[in-house]
Amino acid sequence: MLMRQVAEAFQSLELTSKRSEMTRFLADLFEQASAEDVDILVYLLRGRLGPPFEAPEFGVAERLILVTLSDAVAMPPCQVEALYKKKGDLGLVAEELLPQERSNLTLRDVYDTLRQVATATGAGAQERKIRLVSDLIKRSGGLEAKYILRMLQGRLRLGVGDATIIDGLSEAAGGDYGLRLQIERAYNLCSDLGFVARTLFTNGPTAVEQIGPRVEKPIMVALAERLPSPQQVINKLGRVEAEPKYDGLRLQLHKDHDRVRFFTRRLEDVTGMFPELASAALRQIRAERAVLDGEAVVYNPETGEYLPFQVTVRRKRKYGIAEMETRYPLRYFAFDLLSVDDRDLTRESLLTRREELVKVLRWRADDPIEVTENIITDDAAELERFFQDQIQRGLEGVVVKRPDSPYQAGQRSFNWVKLKRAYRGELRDTVDVVIVGYLVGKGKRAKFGIGSLLAAVYLPQQDKFRTVTKIGSGLTEVGWMEMKSRLDELRSERKPARVDSLIEPDVWVEPAVVVEVLADEITRSPMHTTGKVGSEQGYALRFPRVVSIRMDKGPEDATSEQEILEMYQMQQARPVEQPPDAGKPGKHAA
């Protein structure tokens, strides 16, 4: 497959914001690809060299790309830089400076060269990167070079999400909605859409249906809906299993003989950051191969108190790990078993999975890994008591689950429901929103160049982000400056294709940064697009303030539009009094 074909498709994708058109462009592109190329095509559509949990970073600084382009077009760097300042996009500069005639450069040529660039290390690595990229650009036409340089900068920004790629794959394979569901399920179980695409194009839909959990390939996490009270939970679900809800870091644990890996909900491999948990897993898990789902929480060993997420997330770092292990010890609470010794348990009931988990994991009082406490009940009063016990211990609340439910990877459903504390009828549950732009601001904050953030929630059915609020508080002065610096790296010259907004911010940014906010209430609003149908008003968060920056979440992990609509309905629900926060957790039983 020629890179020119790919670049022309990329250009078509870039020029539309209609998902139906994107799907058609992608289907046409996939139909032109060979089975040997379709996986790398899927990866490059997202600007990566592989699935997110194992794709190497390009490691090419902007200045190095500028020097490389200068070398490729035989033009002084100062002239290339002047053009860059004018256009604001090195890809557009390359498109202008390079000839537009077709080249014989193939998609495989580009992928293999970019992989060499990403994996170049040691003495002389920078020089090798420059030579490789320069040679690649010289072999490219202007259109191909535009997208190659954007990939290297991490600024491909075609407005295409995984959901739209799945639509394109299904259409290209001549499938109906049933095939789309098969592709989505397979992807949710292996988190490698390139692998799923190659399986589909090589062996057909039957092979896709057989894709299941694999050790060392992270599984998309199951997610919970919301309900306002224990009584409403029992009314909707009947008999339930309930567990404490920890304010920690969602981690998936993969054990393969003497090797242990940890993955975040964003599919990042964070294995090296938690050595004490890796050692404990080898000691405590009585299976050669297993995949566990759970929550890691920092605790105070002197008081036994669990510390908030903002403290736990400090453990997520690449350096000074031994010091952090001492300062911030971790406990890992396992609440699900997804695979054991190559047996797929995701289709089994929750109770079956938990029974297997208790058999597989052995723990004593001081072990870092343990199975979460639980109760099974159909009594609202008993669920209320269990809920209040968790609040007294300083936890967030409880997660309630259907005992007979399978593990729905990558899905939010009423198989799981989170029940969190409320107070005096106010909106006390936090909301995760995605930043899609910012306003420069006036007065005191104008000196920072940023005054407020335009934020959105996710609409998975359309693969869109719809605005729900503007945020102007919750960050320190340093925090605002750091936020601006981060958002400027995601700056877009026009509204991103996946953003649905009536508000025009001073600066658009690609949806990537997720922040947790607390608001006073949800109101109807003519200014925001969340929940907006026709001429009706949308929904908005009133007086939002930033609680934390959620580095562990991707944009598609943000609160969904449906959740906002449900939370709006829940605002009038009976309030649950909020007891004091502090408390000692004690130990859990199986």
507-556 pLDDT, tens digit per residue, is 999 999 999 999 989 999 999 999 999 999 999 999 999 999 998 899 99
Write the pLDDT tens digit of every residue in 179-192.
999 999 999 999 99
Please tell me the predicted confidence (pLDDT) of residue 572: 56
CA distance 522 to 433: 14
Is the pLDDT at 423 greater than 50? The verdict is no
- For the chain, what is the domain count? 3
| Assigned domain for 514 exists | yes
Cβ-Cβ contacts under 8 Å for 259 (sequence gap 6 or more) = 216
Residues 409 and 436 in one domain: no
Catalytic residue among 146, 245, 255, 464: 245
Residues 549 and 496 in one domain: yes
| Assigned domain for 406 exists | yes
| Assigned domain for 575 exists | no
Residues 358 and 448 in one domain: no
Q: Which two tokens stand for residue 188?
A: 């949710």
Residues 235 and 359 in one domain: yes
Residues 250 and 385 in one domain: yes
Q: Where are the alpha helices (DSSP H) in 243-302?
A: 275-284
Please tell me the predicted confidence (pLDDT) of residue 2: 96
| Assigned domain for 274 exists | yes
Residues 402 and 471 in one domain: no
Q: Which of 194-208, 214-228, 443-457 is predicted least confidently?
A: 443-457
CA distance 443 to 448: 10
Residues 23 and 140 in one domain: yes
Helix or strand run (H / E) with residue 375: strand 375-377
Per the annotation, the verdict on 245 as an active-site residue is yes
Residues 447 and 487 in one domain: yes
One-character DSSP codes across 172-205: HTT--HHHHHHHHHHHHHH--HHHHHHHHHHH-H
Residues 374 and 494 in one domain: no
Model-level pTM? 0.86
Is the pLDDT at 131 greater than 70? The verdict is yes
CA distance 116 to 133: 10
pLDDT band at 424 (very low <50, low <70, confident <90, very high): very low
Please tell me the predicted confidence (pLDDT) of residue 582: 40
Is the pLDDT at 573 greater than 60? The verdict is no
Please tell me the predicted confidence (pLDDT) of residue 590: 36
| Assigned domain for 505 exists | yes
**What average pLDDT score do residues 544-572 get?**
90
CATH at residue 328: 3.30.470.30
| Assigned domain for 349 exists | yes
CATH at residue 128: 1.10.3260.10
- Given 153, 176, 192, the domain boundary residue is 153
Residues 386 and 472 in one domain: no
Beta carbons of 471 and 460 less than 8 angstroms apart = no
If one compares 95 and 445, the residue with the highest pLDDT of the two is 95
Question: H/E/C letters for each residue in 423-477?
Answer: ECCECCCCEEEEEEEEECCCHHHHHHCCCEEEEEEEECCCCEEEEEEEECCCCCH
Q: Which two tokens stand for residue 168?
A: 């394109």
Write the pLDDT tens digit of every residue in 293-342.
999 999 988 888 898 888 888 888 777 888 888 888 999 999 999 999 99
Please tell me the predicted confidence (pLDDT) of residue 365: 82
**What average pLDDT score do residues 58-73 get?**
91
CATH at residue 476: 2.40.50.140
- Given 420, 449, 483, the domain boundary residue is 420
The mean pLDDT value of the chain amounts to: 91
Residues 415 and 352 in one domain: yes
Domain span at residue 30 reads 3-153
Q: Which of 95-109, 215-229, 440-454 is predicted least confidently?
A: 440-454
**What average pLDDT score do residues 123-150 get?**
93
- Given 420, 449, 484, the domain boundary residue is 420
Q: Residues of the chain with pLDDT > 70: what percent?
A: 95
Helix or strand run (H / E) with residue 570: helix 561-570
| Assigned domain for 258 exists | yes
Residues 355 and 230 in one domain: yes
Cα 359 to the center of its chain, rounded Å: 31
Cβ-Cβ contacts under 8 Å for 102 (sequence gap 6 or more) = 2, 4, 141
| Assigned domain for 268 exists | yes
